[in-house]
Structure 1
Amino acid sequence: MFLDAFDPELFRTTSETVTAKLEKHLADQSIRGLELVAPATLARAARALMTPERTSAPEFDEERLAAIIDLYIRTGIQVHSPGYMGRQFSGVVPLAGVIDFVSSVVNQPSSFYEAGQLPNVAERIMADELGRLIGWKPGGFAMVTTSGGSLANLTALLAARNERYPGYWSGGAAAVDSPGRPAIAVGADVHYSVARAAGVMGIGDAQLVRLPLDAAQRIDPARVRPALDAAREQGLHVFCLVASAGTTAVGAFDPIDELADIARERDLWLHVDGAHGASLLVSDRLRHKLRGVERADSLTWDAHKMMFVPAPCTLLFYREEARSLAPFRQQASYVFDEEPDVYTALDSGGRNFECTKRPMIMTLWALWALYGPALFATKIEHLCRLTREAHRIVEDEPDFVALHHPEANILCFRHRPGGAAGLDDAALHRLQIDIRNRVKERGHFFISKVDIDHVAALRVVLMNHQITTEHIRMLLDEIRAVARDALDGAAHDGTPLTDTGPRP
């Protein structure tokens, strides 16, 4: 009978089954990366776990559930393993997963106070707590949660556009009265979500003004004004400048304070994409990396990165509360109240894209309520310190080249084995990609790659406090081993390393 699926006792027993498996998963500190399974093979395995019943709901099958959970855990990136060094999402504080579990069961969408009362209050509390770290006084600024940094960046850029061009929301581009085509100034290394947002907004990638970077991969403030002047001569009207606090490629922090001077001088909206690096604000030792952030008009902050909560949990801040109403200018009688009161004052539905939104703030607030900021600050400081140690280890190895000094927990480097001393850039690029792919296929470590100066580099993101310097050395040994295989294979079959086709 279908009602059996809603039985509270069944809920308890299935929760115990799942919890036991997750406990075992968290306790496993073996070094494992990613077990890639062919999609067709995985689809067959998944279909084999599906009940053949179609006309009535069958009795609960505990073995089937256990097999589903096992498959789910085994085929994902092992974010809690010391072998996981490849991406910017993290293993979560386990308690945050428990709170997320509660949110899934009680199912309280949080865009409107009446649907999710505590999430909306918690959002205001965390806004005050984190806003003080930014440098703002309570009462003047605003924060909304969004499902991911990409959506937060889009929302902030909509606010900037609608403020500068009030008629754009209702009249579209035809309503724009400006001395040039609307444009956004960004660092040459800006996250792709900003370029995507420009496309969504009808501005277009061609109207992104790419600002030059310095040797540390940060926006070079000395060359920003000439770039803006050149854009104006080309018929572009820049209304917003986007800075990064922790770029995706190398974790660089743009000089926000100097860029804020330029933004004020040129009457530009200053948005800071701090999806990765804004979390350094919780650390007294690291907060200086974001010097000047209090002068930004808006800030994106992903808690599911360096605050170690389940994704998505993104915070979008506005220095002036009134500006948080700028992105979306519309009315809908079925959700927006005609007579605001003390309850609807906490609604965020008019400030964010989502109507039905997960109460994502609950995972962050619960951890903050129980542990305070020290939990986050201590782990972030540890990871940044570990990354500096990893940099030292790489620098000490003659067959590795570190490509930057890490500002946070991202490190990029290349392997140049003795046999590859004569490789040109194209072959060196291919070797790094080959190394990354072979490391992934071995399944011990999971790392990523990024192009720096048009040549591929190996990239590690240290998100797991279980990683030690010994694991870093083990990774370098693994890289050496797969590089030898790659070079030996190329020498044996005569395939040049510049060949970008699939390996046999």
Structure 2
Amino acid sequence: MQFLLEVVDILTNYVRKTFDRSTKVLDFHHPHQLLEGMEGFNLELCDQPESLEQILVDCRDTLKYGVRTGHPRFFNQLSSGLDIIGLAGEWLTSTANTNMFTYEIAPVFVLMEQLTLKKMREIIGWPNGEGDGIFSPGGAISNMYSVMVARYKHYPEVKIKGMAAAPRLVLFTSEHSHYSIKKASAVLGFGTENLILLKTDESDSCACYLVKWFCCVSAVQGFMPVFVNATAGSTVYGAFDPINEIADICEKYNIWLHVDGAWGGGLLMSRKHRHKLNGVERANSVTWNPHKMMGVPLQCSAILVREKGLLQGCNSMCAGYLFQPDKQYDVTYDTGDKAIQCGRHVDIFKFWLMWKSKGTIGFEKHIDRCLELSEYLYHKIKNREGYEMPQHTNVCFWYIPPSLRLLPDGEEKRQRLHKVAPKIKAMMMECGTTMVGYQPQGDKVNFFRMVVSNPAVTRSDIDFLIDEIERLGQDL
């Protein structure tokens, strides 16, 4: 018990420092330095057990040399922030140490998951919250579920006979969609050549998809379109595809429509911003990651399906040692046979607990605040000397150092500007005072990408970030 109390003390001190802006976001060291050992912290595994005192040192140093992703000046990833209620939920989940595959061993958690998924489906707009769903190990797996279920819906015999039982199936998604769609097409046997990547318009959404889709479908005789992915909040730009227009085409050709709302799904909680997902209720499936915009501790991702029974039919293997049909309770609450995993982590409790503590209204305020801060950053740098930016939900921008501002446009300026964001990012990490992402995007010049998904961020944190970029970039 004394050991556990000391661990709790380490954790609470870490939490306290995470919200202290005078502390660093990270104490950066190169891999070889950590591998060689740092002041009593050694990553190598030993044959003999070490003392509890050393284990406590290891706990402290693991946090010391890691990244404080909950720090208000960490802008590097889509998932950031440290919600105290969610953290408490994760601690309780680990203490319970149970598995989500049956009601038999996770009765309360299973019911929490069912009720929360139903609430999410209601928010999407499916009548009475009907349908199905499951929490998965991240948005990439949720997207893969959608492809699997779409294939099962149209060609259920593939489950038994393999891809030979179906014609040549093609999938559609935008060039700026998440790479997990491409990965799913490879892993599930479609082949990446049968994933059609469509160009986007100037706003980086697929307003011009419809004609292109029609042309593609008409041109590839013998190909069978089976799945369309519409992105609701692209990873880099935060762009939203026009779901209603895409749904019209999908309904006409009987194609499964999936909405990847891993990043943008949280906007459904906001009456002010949910219009960006207009038409989502027409989707056959939706990915929604509460661990991103909603600030739930990693990981928390849901795949939601409009038609009940498809997840079970697609994935069920009827393992008798787990899913006995003659149990004393209603075995429809045994969710494990809907999953592609056997063991499944309890991701629901921290989310459920946060929802209880915030209420739906609290989540709405959380979302609105993050969008307001992003808008503040956008307007702060829009007309500022030395900055150029496209217009997107995620705030993406170039910082142009003084030495490049008078340089005429051309290859030399392009090559030198290409190096600015990586250099400033590296200096930021060395300093440890703040972190922001940068984006190599095809043959385009590297640019900064900043996302606000942490409600602890203030305008002064955004001001600090801009000041740091300008300070570090002065001599480039």
Structure 2 CA distance, aligned partners of 1:53 and 1:119?
37
Q: In the alignment, which of 271, 274, 280 is matched to residue 293 of structure 1?
A: 280
Query: Which among 91, 107, 125 is matched to residue 97 of structure 2?
Result: 107
Q: Is 1:464 aligned to residue 454 of structure 2?
A: yes
Q: Tell me, yes or no, if structure 1 residue 80 matches structure 2 residue 66.
A: no
The list of structure 1 runs, each at least 4 consecutive aligned residues, that deviate by more than 4 angstroms after superposition, is: 46-55, 339-342
Q: In structure 2, do the counterparts of structure 1 residues 332 and 268 end up closer, same or farther at CA, with 3 Å as the change threshold?
A: same
In the superposition, relative to structure 1, how do residues 11 and 33 fare at CA in structure 2: closer, same or farther (>3 Å)? closer
Residues 339 and 258 of structure 1, relative CA distance in 2, 3 Å threshold: farther
* Conserved 8 A contact 1:209-1:231: no
Instruction: Report the Cα offset of residue 318 of structure 1.
Output: 0.5
| Structure 1 residues 191-218: Cα deviation after superposition (integer angstroms, max 9, x where no partner) | 0111111110111221111122121111
Q: Residues 76-475 of structure 1: matches in 2 within 5 Å? A: 76-138=66-128, 140-176=130-166, 178=167, 181-220=168-207, 222-235=208-221, 236-339=223-326, 342-406=329-393, 410-420=394-404, 421-422=407-408, 423-424=410-411, 425-452=414-441, 454-455=443-444, 456-475=446-465
Q: Which range moved further: 158-167 or 445-454?
A: 445-454
Contact 2:152 2:314 in 1 (8 A): yes
**Cα deviation 1:217-238 (Å, max 9, x = unaligned):** 1112x43233343255235322
User: How far apart are the structure 1 equivalents of 2:12 and 2:327?
Assistant: 47
Distance change >3 Å, CA 452–CA 264, structure 1 → 2? same
Q: CA deviation at 1:298?
A: 0.5
8 Å contact kept, 1:303–1:314: yes
**TM-fit CA distance, 1:108:** 1.4
1:407-464 CA-to-partner distances (Å, cap 9, x unmatched) read xxx2100112342233533433233333333333332221112245731211001122
Q: Tell me how far 1:141 sits from its aligned partner.
A: 0.9
SS of aligned partner of 1:238: strand
C-alpha distance 59-398 of structure 1, shift in aligned 2 (>3 A): closer
How far does residue 473 in structure 1 lie from its aligned partner after superposition?
Answer: 2.9
The CA deviation string for residues 125-163 of structure 1, in whole angstroms up to 9 with x for no partner, is 112222211112336211211111111111111111122
Q: Distance in 2 between matches of 1:40 and 1:452?
A: 29
Pick from 24, 29, 41 the counterpart of residue 16 of structure 2.
Answer: 24
Taking the aligned partners of 1:51 and 1:60, their CA distance within structure 2 comes to 17
Conserved? CA contact 2:135–2:301, under 8 Å: yes
For the Cα contact (< 8 Å) 1:30–1:81, is it kept in 2? no
What is the alpha-carbon distance in structure 1 between the residues aligned to residue 182 and residue 21 of structure 2?
A: 39
Distance in 2 (CA, whole Å) between partners of 1:336 and 1:225 is: 47
Query: Which residue of 33, 36, 39 corresponds with 1:44?
Result: 36
Name the stretch that deviates more: 45-54 or 197-206: 45-54
Give the superposed CA RMSD: 2.3
Letter in 2 for 1:243: A
Q: Deviations over 1:37-90 (max 9, x none)?
A: 1223213337845799745x56532xx244223222222222222321110112
**TM-score, with length taken from structure 1:** 0.87
Amino acid of the residue matched to residue 67 of structure 1? V
CA 1:401–1:169: 2 relative to 1, 3 Å? same
Higher deviation after alignment, 414-423 or 144-153: 414-423
Q: Measure the CA separation in 1 of the matches of 2:15 and 2:416.
A: 45
**In the aligned structure 1, how far is the partner of 2:3 from the partner of 2:105?**
23
Q: Quote the Cα distance in structure 1 between the aligned partners of 2:241 and 2:328.
A: 41
Contact 1:169 1:329 in 2 (8 A): no
Q: Is residue 155–residue 327 contact of structure 1 (8 Å, CA) maintained in 2?
A: no
Q: How many residues end up aligned between the 2 structures?
A: 468
| Same amino acid, percent of matched pairs | 25
Equivalents in 2 of 1:404, 1:383: separation in Å?
17
Shift of 1:326: 4.1
Residues 54 and 133 of structure 1: is their aligned pair in 2 closer, same or farther, counting only changes over 3 Å? same
Q: Distance in 2 between matches of 1:332 and 1:211?
A: 41
Q: Distance in 1 between matches of 2:172 and 2:382?
A: 35
Letter in 1 for 2:321: Y
Gaps of 5+ in 2: none
The structural deviation recorded for 1:329 is: 4.2
For the residue of structure 2 that corresponds to 1:305, the secondary structure is coil
Q: 2:374 & 2:76 partners in 1: Cα distance? A: 13
CA contact (8 A) 1:153 1:197 kept: yes
SS state at 1:350 partner: helix
Q: Aligned partners of 2:160, 2:416: CA distance in 1, in Å?
A: 52
Secondary structure (helix, strand or coil) at the match of 2:346 reads coil
Structure 1 residues 33 and 454, CA gap change in structure 2 (3 angstroms): farther
Q: Kindly indicate whether the alpha-carbon contact (under 8 Å) linking 2:266 and 2:290 is maintained by their aligned counterparts in 1.
A: yes
Secondary structure of 1:470 counterpart: helix
Provide the rounded CA distance (Å) in 1 between the counterparts of 2:305 and 2:45: 52
Query: Which residue of structure 2 lines up, in the alignment, with residue 490 of structure 1?
Result: none
Counterpart CA distance in 2 for 1:140 and 1:252 is 28
Q: Which amino acid aligns with 2:269?
A: V
